[in-house]
Amino acid sequence: MLAQALMLGLVAGIGILDGRIFGVMMLERPLVLGSLTGLVLGDFTAGIAIGAQLELIWMGIAGIGSSTPPDVVTGGVLGTAFAILSGNGAEVALALAVPIAVLAQSLGVLVRVINTYFLHKADKYAQNANIKGVTLMMWIPPILFFLSVFIPTFLAILVGANQVTAMIHAVPKVILEGLTVAGNLLPAIGFALLMDMLFSKKMGVFFFIGFLAASYLKLDVMAIALFGVCLAVILNFVISHSNNKTSDEKAGDDNLTEGEINFE
């Protein structure tokens, strides 16, 4: 268990550094973290399935401005790990991942507050042309972010795995069934958050086309996505052709027609 706790802590640490020092490689997404967690715990298939479910929940979550979103890294890794260790599947992961992510969010806020000190310190080093000092100040914040997810994940797996598993098995069946219903609703909330950012009156018709295709034509998601790609290509061709035609007509209005005389 010590080795698994250490490896899962490293998985969470790598996930939190995505977008900070690794660029945006999508390593922090629940689908990736869930797969890596399943690989570490010896159940890669369950890790992918749980990660996909968590991805639906957090698909529309983004940090905008000074707001700090729930810690999807800690929530994703621990939710997936506890679900696999307890053997209760995605329902437990959905029920545990969200509150864990919200609790870990507070630790993330604390790290961001502490990092402001190193930011101002780096400004002072830069004014004095102290390159080594600036470099050190730039490396400390990522290290703190790494520790903010590594330590909770490591301790939770090392100390709390058996306790959490026993607690889950002690929960009455009716409560687990309620968590299953709630877990099935959470992906819908994730899609709702995403649509809240993307939905517009002009684009709404395409959403309803996809909904009708799924409801009445019984098409799966892949078929609807491929039809959507084809429709986007056709519309792009039509719009581009229309714009080019309009441009040619405007250009033609500026040219001399046959029989006109240019007196300039």
d(CA 78, CA 82): 6
Chain-wide mean pLDDT for the chain?
A: 78
- Which segments of 8-85 are extended strands (E)? none
User: What is the band of 252 on the pLDDT scale with cuts at 50, 70, 90?
Assistant: low
d(CA 184, CA 246): 50
Q: Which residue has the tokens 């590594």?
A: 150
The whole-number average pLDDT for the span 171-192 is 65
* Per-residue confidence (pLDDT) for residue 146, from 0 to 100: 92
d(CA 29, CA 188): 18
CA angle (224, 28, 196) in 5-degree steps: 50
* Per-residue confidence (pLDDT) for residue 176, from 0 to 100: 61
Cβ–Cβ under 8 Å, residues 132 and 87? no
User: The pTM is what?
Assistant: 0.61
The whole-number average pLDDT for the span 145-169 is 77
| Highest mean pLDDT, choosing among 219-228, 240-249, 251-260 | 219-228
Write the pLDDT tens digit of every residue in 47-75.
888 888 888 777 766 655 555 667 888 88
User: What is the band of 261 on the pLDDT scale with cuts at 50, 70, 90?
Assistant: very low
* Per-residue confidence (pLDDT) for residue 11, from 0 to 100: 92
Cα 90 to Cα 2, 33, 37, 54, 99, distances in angstroms? 24, 14, 13, 9, 15
246 vs 221, residue with greater confidence:
221
Cβ–Cβ under 8 Å, residues 30 and 22? no
Write the pLDDT tens digit of every residue in 153-163.
888 888 765 66
263 pLDDT above the threshold of 70:
no
List the chain domain ranges. Answer: 2-198, 201-250
Largest alpha-carbon pair distance within the chain? 96
8 pLDDT above the threshold of 50:
yes
